[in-house]
Amino acid sequence: MPPTRREKQHAITREEIKQIAWEQMRQQGTAAISLRGIAREMGLTAPAIYRYFPSRDDIITALLMDAYTQFGDAMEAAAQQPAPSIYEQIVTIGLAYREWAVNNRIQYELIFGNPIPEYAAPAELTLPLARRAFVPLISAILEAMQMSDWQPKAHIPTLTPRLIDAMQPRWTAEGVPLEGVYLATRFWTRVHGMVTLELYDHTPPLIGDASEFYRLEIISLLEE
C-alpha cells in the first residue's frame, strides 16, 4: 500500500531533522548533536523530536547509515566508470575515495573518526554497509591479479604463517586469495592515511598541495 499523506510528511520531517543534525556536526563536530538546538531550528520544542526518533542515539545511527550508504554508492560508481585498464580503474577508485572524503568530510569523520560519547554504533547495521563500500576495491584488485601483465606481485611480502592463520578463517570460505586481501588492505590504509592527515590539516603544512601529492601517490601506488 503506498504511503499515506501523513506518512510522507512524517518522512519529510525525519529528513529535515537529519539535515539540521548534519549541519550541527559540520559547525561543531560529530559529537555536537543537540536535540534542543534541532528543535529550535525547526520552531519546535525538544520533546517533539521524540515523535520522529526514539532517542539522540537513533538520530546518530540514521546519519551514520546514510554516510556509509553514500560512501558505498560513491565507491560503486567509481568502480563502474569505464577505464582503459583495470589498473586505471583502481586509480579511479582511489581518487574517488579522496574526492568523496573532501566533499563529505563530516560524513567521513562520522564513519572513521573518534567515538561519540555514550554512543555505540550498532555493528549489525554498519558492518554490512562498511563491507559494501570495500567490495569495489577488493574486486578490482582481485581482477587485476588475474591479469597476465600483473606486476606488483613481486612487491607483496611473503605472507607469514602468523598472518595467514589470522586471515584464513575470514576469507577461505569465500575463496578470496589472501594476497588480494593483503593488497586491498595496503591500498586502503595508504589512501586513508593521506586523506585523513589532509582533512585534519596535518599534511598541508608540510606538503602544501595535498591534492597534487595524493594524485602522484595514487598513481605511483600501482607502479611499485
Partner DNA sequence: TCATTTTAGTTAACACTGTTTACAGTTTAC
Partner DNA sequence: GTAAACTGTAAACAGTGTTAACTAAAATGA
Written in H, E and C, the secondary structure of 66-124 is HHHHHHHHHHHHHHHCCCCCHHHHHHHHHHHHHHHHHHCHHHHHHHHCCCCCCCCCCHH
Quickly tell me which residue has 519546535 as its cell: 44
C-alpha 149: how far from its chain's center?
Answer: 30
d(CA 37, CA 56): 12
Q: How far is the CB of 10 from DNA (least distance, A)?
A: 4
Interacting partner of 9 out of a second copy, DNA, none (Cβ under 5 to 8 A depending on kind): DNA
Q: How far is the CB of 44 from DNA (least distance, A)?
A: 4
Stretch that binds a second copy, among 1-9, 10-18, 30-38, 80-88 (CB under 8 A): 30-38
Within 8 A by CB and 6+ apart from 195, the residues are: 97, 98, 101, 102, 108, 214
Among 14, 112, 143, 179, binds a second copy (CB under 8 A): 112
Nearer to DNA, 45 or 81 (CB): 45
d(CA 99, CA 75): 10
**Can you tell me whether residue 37 is helix, strand or coil?**
helix
Quickly tell me which residue has 562498511 as its cell: 130
Stretch that binds a second copy, among 3-11, 67-75, 80-88, 211-219 (CB under 8 A): 211-219
C-alpha 50: how far from its chain's center?
Answer: 29
Q: Taking CB under 8 A as the criterion, which residues in 143-162 touch a second copy?
A: 155, 157, 159-160, 162
Interaction mask 33-72, a second copy, x per CB under 8 A: ----------------------------------------
Q: Taking CB under 7 A as the criterion, which residues in 36-95 touch DNA?
A: 36-37, 39-40, 43-48, 50-51, 54-57
> What is the binding site for a second copy (CB under 8 A)?
28-32, 109, 112-118, 127, 130, 134, 155, 157, 159-160, 162-163, 165-167, 169-170, 181-182, 184-186, 188-194, 196-197, 200, 202-203, 205-209, 212-213, 216-217, 219-220, 223-224
